[in-house]
A = this chain, B = another copy of it.
């Protein structure tokens, strides 16, 4: 049995398109569907050993890519900073709603929240 590296599950979203169809399916069944090597082999029409080879190779590709490109780490930092912006916007929104009631500020806040939402979707 291959030991599960849960980092791989996260990285699959970022680098899955760099894998072969078989590699991607094997990883998906293994990490996201939690199937056994035997079950995955039956689904893909390959041997248990073939499944193991595909998973090992795919994991190596994915981990090497993150090592070189650092996409997941980069997007994690982006999301963290966007969350801080969101909190600061909420403070402004609350002050404005309670005290100043500026329409211009309100419109700007709405615009910012809309962009933040789209950015979050982009980084999922």
Interface, chain A (partner B; CB < 8 A) = 14-15, 17-18, 68-69, 71, 74, 77-78, 81-82, 84-85, 88-89, 91-92, 95-96, 99-100, 102, 104-105, 108-109, 111-112, 115-116, 118-119, 122-123
B118 engages A81 (CB within 8 Å)? yes
Contact A18 B91 (CB under 8 A): no
Q: Select A115's contact among B85, B100, B111, B118, beta carbons within 8 Å.
A: B85
Contact call A92/B109, Cβ cutoff below 8 A:
yes
Q: Which 10 A-B pairs have the closest CB atoms?
A: A88-B108, A17-B68, A88-B111, A91-B108, A81-B115, A100-B100, A88-B112, A92-B108, A85-B115, A85-B112
